[in-house]
A and B are shown apart, each in its own frame.
Chain A
Amino acid sequence: MSPAMEAYLSSMNRSLEEALSIAREARSRGIDPSTTPEIPIANDLADRVEALLHIPGVAARIRELEAEMSREEAALRIGDDFVARRFGETSREEVVDHAIRCSMALLTEGVVAAPTEGIAKVTFGKNDDGSEYLRIYYAGPIRSAGGTAQALSVLVGDYVRRALGINRYIPRPIEIERYIEEIRQYNNILSLQYAPTEAELRLIIENCPVCIDGEPTEKDEVSGYRNLERVETNAVRGGMALVIAEGLALKAPKIQKNVAKMKMSGWEWLDTLVAGTSPSGGDEEPGVHPKDKYLKDAIAGRPVFAYPMRKGGFRLRLGRGRNSGFAAGGLNPATMFILGEYLSPGTQMKVERPGKAAGVVPVDTIEGPTVLLTSGEVRRIDREGDAVALVSDIEAILDVGEMLISFGEFLENNHPLVPPSYCEEWWLQEGGPRHPENEMEAIGFAMDGAYLHPDYTWFFDDLTIEEFRLLADMVVAGGRLESDLLRIRNTPEIKHLLEEILIPHTVEGDDIVIRSYYSFIACLGLSLDLSRRDGWKTLPASGNGLDAARHLSGFMIRSKAGTRIGARMGRPGKSAPRKMKSAPHALFPVGDGGGARRSFQGAGAKKSGGTVPDGDLLMQIETTGTVSIQLGERKCPGCGLTTYWNRCGCGEHTEPVFRCVHCNKEVREDRCPRCDAPTACQHEVDLNIRKEYDDALARLGILPDALKLLKGLKELKSRNRAVEPIEKGILRAVRDLFAFKDGTVRYDMIDLPLTHFRPREIGVSPERLRELGYQTDMDGRDLVGLDQTVELKPQDILVSRDCGEYLLAVAGFMDDLLERVYGLPRYYNAETPADLVGQLLIGLAPHTSAGVLARLIGFSEALVGYAHPFFHAAKRRNCFHGDTEIEVRGPDGWKKLPIRDFVVANFDLSSPGIDHIGTFYSDPATPHMTIAIDTTGTPKMRRITSVSVHRAPAHLILFETERGKKLAVTPDHAMVVWDCTYLRKIRAVEVKPGDRVAVMEGGMVLADTIRIAEPTPCLDDRVYCLTVADDHTLHANGIFTGQCDGDEDCVMLLLDGLINFSRSFLPETRGGSMDAPLVLTSRIDPAEVDKETLNVDLVSRYPLSVYEGCLRYAAPKDLEKEVDHVELRIGTPAQYEGFSFTHDTTDISAGPQTTMYTRLGSMVDKLDAELLLARKIRAVDEDDLAERVLTTHFIRDMIGNLNAFSKQGFRCPRCAAKFRRMPLAGKCRCGGRIIATVSEGSVKKYLAASQSICEQFAISEYTKQRIRVIDASINSTFGEEEKVQLGLADFM
């Protein structure tokens, strides 16, 4: 490590220490749930394991073991220490329990929930011969461990069991049948990644030495083998099914390897299993066949920019910009403007290849789009300014420009290299002497044996030989040279052909005028007097236009078209403060009195003269601001007083008191020793909200009038039911900040990679940057100028301006808090966002529990968070995933498609990928499918490309729909909601009641309305990480949700996290504490981060061999050594610095600031804009697109809702009660009227729009008939009299 990097990392550590000491001081005041900061700092895996499991001393032992052996071995060996009871285990159960949890934590990198939440308990059962056997109860979150860790946990159990002298499990025949039935059934409910055959299951269960048991996770019960003596439940046990099917069956080879290494006996049966389950399925034929998967979910509202491999689509430019690579693709900012301003930095694009999605970043050193203007002129637009000026004159977009994709992306996706667009950096390497001054010089170079320079290479390969001949004929017939211009008589035919080859030209009067014509006529085989040269006599009749041009000109010419890549718009970028659904200022309950806004003022108000019906009497009531509410019971160790505050009136910090829920006795254990009942920390308190609120205001010296609204929570849901001082909420409220469930204030941003920046574009002076350790630019010169390019340090980040402002407010809040509540000096003292530069932040990716320490060094104009790829990778997993009650249906027996196009090379069956934050990726051994939904609402059978895993959440958002569907997901989970005609992905926390989601019912997709969305504990939750091909959605409990794409992160101020975060606020639920910074990683080790970063390439130019490899569709793996990338540097000092890039860009924030998509309001506008753009772009087939919109979205919605109409649930608008069916009484129990959840309007809403699309576009007869049939069904359901069709706009 270089001294500079050393200094950088240690300065980070110093600042962290400083912040920690302030936080400790503040916490010692005792007003928080605990007296020390609750985010442990972890530097390595061993630390994290120890922090996760709370077993002191384990970290040291893990380090010792890891020094000697592989991680898997260490995970088993650590069992010996537990058997020896080295860590204070008191019972045999505890020994096994600790051993299994610890090894799982090790195997899952200490970040996922599986070790803590995935194993419910461990007990011993009795075999029929009287001996004992070990039972491990797996719970739903075991999924987060991934197959290998799941399977190895069984192995660990076996290992420890032997050491304890416990016999193996001898199953009864009836139990084996039960397993088989149950796993089958589980697979039907929640599609397993791999459904083992009956024979495999028998083999596993008969031989597995440990009894794999589980908690019931499903509502469904088995129908056959019920009420067995040794199986506690009739319900389906998901954890058990996962461990057997996705663990033991799927990962048999991996266990076999470990068994062999550890020389364990009793696992010989694995040989049979492995022999029987060799993975099937070959790879799809590599190469460049059009792939329209990304289009399958093309949709209303989100435009398609190019059909697969179609002329005029994105041309591949091979290279990495300083802001691209790592799943981001560069586009010329002009392209972003020309394409309807739909793309802005951070917008996600779905692409044909090499990956599936790409974040859009501006790179202005690549080519922009070529357009046909209304004047008839064809020109390429490379500059942002030109694009903005010309956008209204565009008749057609002939070519959408280049897309910069790095070699590393091909490597990452294991996609064969494909020919890129011919470019200068390539040309220079194969004989091009220097950039040609003009066309004559370029032709001179070509005559001297170099390739024809890309700037003067036209797209002859897009012409057939006939078209080429026709073009030459017309130039010969109608062309003339005049004052160094080529003028050709304008006919529609020639105009069309010139547009095909994208040669810039203008139209003057009757003539087409070409200014740069030398290479053109040379390629056409014409001499300067436009007569045919001799080559024409020998022109072969086969080949395409490019072959002809080569032959006729005698030049070496490469294809300028290269490979076209199709793309459509994905999700828009995002940059906004994190808000919970009801967005509280204070984590303090106000009960029902606060109304829908949970307002303190409302709850505390004196309501007199109100009446409530009590039976037939109307009672006069008067409230005095006192509410009765459940709060945590705490006791002061000093004076023994019982309170709910964290600090007693006497100044002492209080401790939570847990009581048995049955006998109400105070107990210290988790369960009551007498009743074996769970314990709870709660008591009902008559709380005078008004007084507490007034007191808090008074203590802060804030006048009651200064604060209009202070929002609290309705009720507490954490185990301790801890509250925070109301002062914190007040101070947040005055700055309009909202607390997240864990007490922190966060800002969410899309993240983009950045390896180099310029002081100018981040708005920070070189002087300040030098203070921050940026002494030199990337070339080693002293940093003095605003435009020098500087290499970004791995833990430094840029945030958007908006975010800067928000963080400034948070900093102000923190300072107020320190000063007025904790009595400490102000810390940030920031007046402008710029004052925050250099401060430390915590970055957190969705679904993770490990924050990463970051330093703020500047701001980007674009609404994105730019940071070093390492930083993103340290927080993130690339895998998409769903969580919690995800229901995937029906791969069982579905034809096993041999598609493995997304299997990343290093993730083969025997070695699943593990990323730094504990995500295991494992690709399915057998391809499996699930029903995904595309953005138009079409259900799709989709392959599950991998299963990956995460820590389970502490807190879930429970959605309930009008139709009675329930789904609990993590707050960051991507939900798909109807945005008129397509499904938009938004985070679960943003889903509000009233939002429409797509649900699956009876094989139909229909729209349903979210009735309740609230953070809540949910007993049946699980964490679930599937990657579903293409659509990245799946339906869970019938509700379609997305997977989290994982590139939207949040940041919070370090001090905010250290002081205000408390586990005690996190809702009590199985699933742990996803999304909360349970651990803070202070230093990024590139060796431990997401594997994707390893494929970020670092060179300033690709060698010729790479381009040559592209031409022969070489596998990127074969050229791995040719291109320096992170993986080659791991473990050397160069792993942190000395990076380079192939393509610079002027400004990392260029392009539209926000996407048009979010600017357009109504669906009508969006659909119109999309179809308009589709008509303009040459690479898009608008009729096909319109039909897709109909079949995949409109029709499905209508059919679904029509069906749903007659199965619908009801609800009471007054008390929010919901009814699966109409109650006999016809009214709610509260006396309220009951209303329908599916309205006639929602069934009919797309009818008029569909009919109008049928008229405007060439739609197939089949689709038209379907719309007619739907129309008839709607009439038959609602009656015909209503002749006035409502338009789409009526429902917006």
Chain B
Amino acid sequence: MLRDQEIVSRFCEAGHLVDPTVVSYIQEKGDPALIQTILKSLSVNCTVVLPSHIPSLTQRRDGIRFTADPILEVIEGMEGSAGPVRQIEDYASLFRNRYDTLGSLIRKRTGSIPVEALIRSSRFRDSDVTIIGIVLDVKTTAKGHRIIELEDPTGIIPVLFNSGRDGFADAERIVPDEVIGVRGKLSPDAGLFYADQLLRPDIPIQHAPYTPHQSGKAVFISDIHIGSDTFLEDPWERFCDWISAEDDISYLLVAGDLVDGIGIYPGQEKELTIQNIYEQYDRLGEMLATLPSRLRIVLAPGNHDVVRGAEPQPAIPAEFRSAYTPNCTFVENPCAVSIQGVRVLMYHGRSIDDLISLIPGARYEAPSEMMEAMLKRRHLAPSYGRRTPVLATEQDRLIIDPVPEILHTGHVHITGISRYRGVLSVNAGAWQGQTAFQKQMNINPTPGQAIIIDLERMEPQVCDFLSK
């Protein structure tokens, strides 16, 4: 395999700096000649080599969208699609579906062989091969290497990532149940696979987001927590006043935790100003009813809401919606909505807790890094069985496919924005002050903020309503 340093120095010698994405692309292709090709195509005054400089890799823009359709459309996760569990065995098809879908994304870039073939046949000894699997277990050895148990439909093999090699930092970030490809060699006794390179489904390097032809602005918020004694009434009022006054804002998207709920955590009743769950929803409905009716409001549930906790979570049931005006659309969690053709993937973000606990160096203060982690893995909640409950369904509803223009989450109460390979990730803050639990966990939320995105320009902007 080509080493990072080699690639970088080759470009350096030619007088160029190089973007890491380009480095990994070249590695993935495994073709040293590619460097020469790129160098040839560069203009003299190019300092940094970007993906766009790679010949034969032109940005592919997905331009075919039927924008004549309604400007707000729920593409996936419309009310009623999240049904009850059919049978617990559906977990098998869920993971199989995840493996197939995400595996094929990797397979597009590299050929792979099944694990069993690798172990059973001597053909692949001593040659570099790629295997694709779903991570079963992640361990660190006594010497600090990582051993991943990788499972594909044919078998399981331990994969060793040497701590001394390039890309080990990436290997340290492997979490259980994500789908990865690994290029490397089988050990002589066929008991271990030595990894050279880690491949993730990832957002295609040439991905370029769709941009709508009409102008428009959407506001992204999350975690309102009506009913809690830490709900920030005044900032919320200011926000409502503001949004009513802004004529060019047409959409308001809320990524869950509309109300504080009841019985979500022990002793919650002492921290509620509204103890009646119906009244909590009614209160929100009344508040939203004061907003202009032109505003299209999308309401998704979160872990505090009245629906089941297992994802996909169904939309808020009709019996709680009596106070809501028709411009409110109730969706499931997760869901994909199209606003003016811009695809927004809404997910409450419960898996962020899991990802933070699994990924070294992850912090609550930087939720957008976890969203990037989701995008790289092309999955909203890769790790099963931790804090995010996932219902046994035939299809894995948490896969990120197709690639959205905007990924919208909440849950951690901290605003975060990032852009990764053309996808804009926004984690909206909350409308609740620091709770006792957050204080205990040393989490400092950034409440009272809304994120406004100009859809045409895809430019996010944070508006702070916390103080006057």
Contacts and interface: CB of A to CB of B under 8 A. Distances in A.
A224 B359 CA distance: 11
Contact of B442 (A893, A1199, A1206, A1276): A893
Contacts of A1279: 83-85
Contact of A223 (B176, B314, B362, B441): B362
A312 to B, nearest CB: 29
Contacts of A940: 266
B262 A1221 contact: no
A625 B362 CA distance: 57
A1277 B85 contact: yes
A895 B437 CA distance: 11
Interface string B383-420: 01111111110000000000000000000000000000
A1265 B91 contact: no
A1199 B304 CA distance: 13
Q: Which 4 A-B pairs have the closest CB atoms?
A: A1226-B92, A1206-B389, A1206-B310, A1222-B91
Contact of A1278 (B84, B93, B384): B84
B389 A1207 contact: yes
B277 A1277 contact: no
B385 A1221 contact: yes
A1276 B360 contact: no
Interface string B436-451: 1001111000000000
Interface string A1146-1174: 00000000000000000000000000000
A482 interface: no
Given A1195-B263, A1276-B307, A1277-B84, A1261 B144 contact: no
Given A1206-B389, A1206-B390, A1207-B385, 13 more contacts: A963-B385, A1002-B387, A1205-B310, A1207-B388, A1207-B389, A1210-B91, A1220-B136, A1221-B177, A1222-B94, A1224-B99, A1261-B275, A1276-B84, A1276-B308
A1234 B92 CA distance: 10
Contacts of A938: 266
A1206 B269 contact: no
A1208 B392 CA distance: 10
Interface string B152-192: 11000000000100000000000011000000000000000
Given A234-B144, A1272-B317, A1262 B153 contact: no
A481 interface: no
B88 A1236 contact: yes
A334 to B, nearest CB: 39
A226 B361 CA distance: 10
Nearest to B383: A1221
A1163 to B, nearest CB: 23
Contacts of B311: 1206
B389 A1266 contact: no
Interface of A: 221, 223-224, 226-227, 234-235, 890, 892-895, 938-940, 963-964, 1001-1003, 1195-1196, 1199, 1202-1210, 1220-1226, 1234, 1236, 1261-1262, 1265-1266, 1269-1270, 1272-1273, 1275-1280
B92 A1224 contact: yes
A221 B153 contact: no
A1202 B309 contact: yes
A1003 B83 CA distance: 26
Given A234-B140, A1222-B92, A1266-B262, A224 B361 contact: yes
Contacts, number: 134
Contacts of A1234: 89
B123 to A, nearest CB: 21
Given A1202-B308, A1266-B262, A1273-B307, A227 B91 contact: no
Nearest to B314: A1276
A542 to B, nearest CB: 36
A892 B442 CA distance: 9
B96 A1224 contact: yes
B95 A1222 contact: yes
Nearest to A1210: B91
Given A1222-B92, A1269-B262, A1272-B317, A1261 B276 contact: yes
B308 A1277 contact: yes
A440 to B, nearest CB: 57
Contact of A1273 (B96, B309, B442): B309
B17 to A, nearest CB: 27
B91 A1221 contact: yes
Given A1195-B263, A1262-B275, A1278-B85, A1221 B310 contact: no
A235 B142 CA distance: 10
A1206 B440 contact: no
Given A892-B440, A1221-B385, A1266 B151 contact: no
Contacts of A1196: 266
A1056 to B, nearest CB: 42
Nearest to B385: A1207
18 contacts: A221-B140, A234-B140, A234-B144, A894-B440, A1203-B309, A1206-B311, A1206-B392, A1207-B385, A1207-B386, A1220-B137, A1220-B176, A1221-B176, A1223-B151, A1224-B99, A1224-B151, A1226-B92, A1262-B275, A1279-B84
A610 B204 CA distance: 57
Interface in B281-337: 306-311, 314, 317
B89 A221 contact: no
Contacts of B91: 1210, 1221-1222
B66 interface: no
Contacts of B307: 1273, 1276
B84 A1209 contact: no
B134 interface: yes
Given A1209-B385, A1262-B262, A1269-B306, A227 B144 contact: yes
A760 B440 CA distance: 60
A1276 B309 CA distance: 10
A1210 B136 CA distance: 13
A1220 B362 contact: no
Contacts of A890: 440-441
A1273 B88 CA distance: 17
Nearest to A1221: B384
Given A1224-B95, A1225-B153, A1206 B309 contact: yes
Contact of B391 (A1003, A1206, A1210, A1223): A1206
A1208 B385 contact: yes
B95 A1221 contact: yes
B287 to A, nearest CB: 21
Contacts of B152: 1224
Interface in B351-392: 360-362, 384-392
Given A1226-B89, A1277-B84, A1207 B384 contact: yes
Interface string B123-144: 0000000000010110010001
Interface centre among A964, A1199, A1204, A1273 (most CB of B within 10 A): A1273
A939 B266 contact: yes
A1145 to B, nearest CB: 43
Contacts of A963: 385
A1199 B263 CA distance: 9
Interface string B267-284: 001000001110000000
Interface string B228-241: 00000000000000
Contacts of A1195: 263
Contacts of B310: 1202-1203, 1205-1206, 1277
Given A1206-B391, A1220-B385, A1221-B384, A1265 B262 contact: yes
B277 A1269 contact: yes
Nearest to A964: B385
A1273 B388 CA distance: 16
Contacts of B89: 1222, 1226, 1234
Contacts of B84: 1275-1280
Interface string B251-265: 000000000001101
A1209 B91 CA distance: 11
Contacts of B134: 1224
B308 A1266 contact: no
Nearest to A1004: B265
